[in-house]
Amino acid sequence: DFDGDGKDDIVTFLRNGYDQVTAGDVYVGLSSGASFQPGTRWHEYFCIGQEVCRTGDFDGDGRTDIVSFLRDTQTGDKRGDVYVALATGTAYRFETASKWQDIFCVGAEQCAVGDFNGDGRDDILAFVRDTQGGSGQGDVNVALSNGYGFGVATRWHDFFCIGPEECKVADFDGDGKDDIIAFYRNSYTGDSVGDVFVALSTGSSFQAATRWQSFFCVGQETCDVGDFDGDGKADIVSFAKSTYSGDPMGDVYVALSNGAGFGSGVKWQSFFCIDQEQCGAGDFNGDGKDDIIVFSKGSNGGVYVALSNGSSFGAGVKWNNFFCVGDEICGLGDFDGDGKDDIVTFLRNGYDQVTAGDVYVGLSSG
């Protein structure tokens, strides 16, 4: 939600772009609640090359900001730097990026964003996974935001998310603090196939992981999280995509959270997000229930949304004709703070020297 209106928007990071001009551009498409506005450039040089782009409200003002993890793209003192560009309240743009952390999320560690202590400001998290051996394997490190920088990283869990498990962040028990989740998928055999484990946040650490679902999101299905029934507790969703042929192709299943576990998976949509399309979730009309979105990618560039009614998703409707194509990095957030999620694209290396690093936003109209 980049404009803070309560509706999630979309973002695309052009990263290396199409030439030296477009490299690093970031575009945002704001949500109106029924469509996304045309993408406009919100930053002209952010998150290029192999840097990792994410979104979150790091200063707690209700507008989604952008973050870039430099990881190992730089050497020496710059290795592991983390830069944040805050969304402004007076103009549709991001401020000049500033460094918020000196060393965080390096190598093959997985970078994530969430409000883990419940203070209204998003923090950063690193799943160490298998990048370290011995006691370091599976560590989960968190650096809390103070509104203008991230503190020293501390270990919040000593063994979570290893191997090919898929990990994400959301508030599954509705206490205002983001938790961590691991989808086992086909990482293991036998009864462990499809297991889903959650470790709840205490505000200063994550509790021991417990199994919340015994069979969800396996094979080549795409897993995601969101509060689809609007009860304040994040649920899980699985996009079947083109994993199966015939009627199951494009199915979308949701398992609702009761605060201590997930219910059985129920089909909420019968055809959405197939092949190489990119799926996601956000509240695009600002009604408190997360919806689903698909970026067509390729040369098509269409963006489709299926709204949630609390028990299913409606038909997919095109909300933007051309946004986040090729190798651009797509994202979501309420960038103007109006309560509706918007879309953003990071051009990364761009299309030329002028567009390198550009960031474009498409606002949601609801």
For the chain, what are the domain ranges? 2-365
| pTM beyond 0.85 | yes
In the chain, the amino acid numbered 14 is: L
- Report residue 235 as tokens: 């649920």
Q: What is the DSSP string of 77-146?
A: GGTT-EEEEPBPSSSSSBPPPEEEESS-S-TTPEEEEE-SSSSSS-EEEEE-TTSS-GGGTT-EEEE-B-
Give dist(CA 321, CA 319) in Å, integer: 7
May I ask the CATH class of domain 2-365? mainly beta
What is the share, in percent, of the chain residues with pLDDT greater than 70?
100
- What strands, in cross-sheet order, belong to the sheet with 252-255? 222-226, 235-239, 252-255, 266-269
Q: Is 208 left (phi over 0), alpha (psi -120 to 50) or beta?
A: beta
Give dist(CA 347, CA 99) in Å, integer: 20
Give dist(CA 252, CA 306) in Å, integer: 11
pLDDT digits (tens, 9 = 90+) for 189-220: 888 999 999 999 999 999 999 999 999 999 99
At 16, the pLDDT band (50, 70, 90 cuts) reads confident
Model pLDDT, residue 356: 85
81: nearest Cα among 66, 95, 100, 62: 100
Give dist(CA 352, CA 41) in Å, integer: 15
pLDDT digits (tens, 9 = 90+) for 258-314: 999 999 999 999 999 999 999 999 999 999 999 999 999 988 899 999 999 999 999
Residue located via tokens 């409606």: 314
Model pLDDT, residue 253: 98
Sign of the C-alpha dihedral, residues 173, 220, 108, 197? positive
Contacts of 75 (CB under 8 A, 6+ apart): none
18 has a pLDDT exceeding 80? no
What is the share, in percent, of the chain residues with pLDDT greater than 90?
76
Exposure string of 156-168, with b = 16+ CB inside 10 Å and e = fewer, is bbeebbeeebbbb
Give dist(CA 334, CA 33) in Å, integer: 12
At 221, the pLDDT band (50, 70, 90 cuts) reads very high
Give dist(CA 227, CA 257) in Å, integer: 9
Residue range 101-117: average pLDDT? 97
47: nearest Cα among 27, 62, 31: 27
